[in-house]
Amino acid sequence: MITLYIDADACPVKQEVYRVAERHAGKGTALKVFVVSNAPIAVPRDMGDLVERVVVGSGMDEADNWIAERARTGDIVITADVPLASRAFKAGAEVIAPNGKRFTADSIGMTLATRNLLDSLRSAGEITGGPKPFAPRDRSAFLAALDQAIVRLTRAGFGKAAD
């Protein structure tokens, strides 16, 4: 089984995840999508057991901790949260940001260091801007990255009906 975990509170690509998961499940890939959030989020009711909503406590990093405790090799984590991405990657999961960026062994350390530097600069009042706005090309890049991750895991033997 390939499990997809969505860090859902601020995720702009939930609908895309549902569509891709439904398409692959229709081809026989064993998938499960967990939509993890601090508050209830609407999920499609017509997808049966394919999509499950998980509402965790409202404490800081509750959703991140829930995902990080479960993510493992053969899973996919969708998040823009760099510390969660690092934890999930270290557990062996594929990690994709909503803009389609795939976290790899080469990129995760630099991304975490850059995030920490920018956080320190913001705390000191040096930087006031945030990330770039989410663009249509980000959505397209995400769709391609998610599809590639599912295909890669399926070819590696994950997502077979006997999993």
pTM for this one?
0.86
Regarding predicted confidence, which is higher, 106 or 67? 67
**Does residue 130 form part of some domain?**
yes
CATH code at 148?
3.40.50
Could you write out the DSSP letters of every residue in 15-35?
Answer: HHHHHHHHHHHHTT--EEEEE
Whole-number Å distance between alpha carbons of 56 and 40:
9
Q: Give alpha helix (H) positions in the chain.
A: 14-26, 62-70, 82-90, 105-123, 136-155
| Residue 35, domain extent | 2-155
Residue 162 lies in a domain: no
- Label residue 88 exposed, middle or buried (CB < 10 Å: 0-12, 13-18, 19+): buried
Is 163 inside a domain boundary?
A: no
Q: Say how many domains are in the chain.
A: 1
Mean predicted confidence (pLDDT) in 21-45: 93
Check residue 123 and give its pLDDT.
75
Q: pLDDT tens digits for 119-151?
A: 777 677 776 666 678 888 999 999 999 999 999
Mean pLDDT of the chain: 88
pLDDT in tens, 36-67: 999 999 999 898 899 999 999 888 889 999 99
161: in domain: no
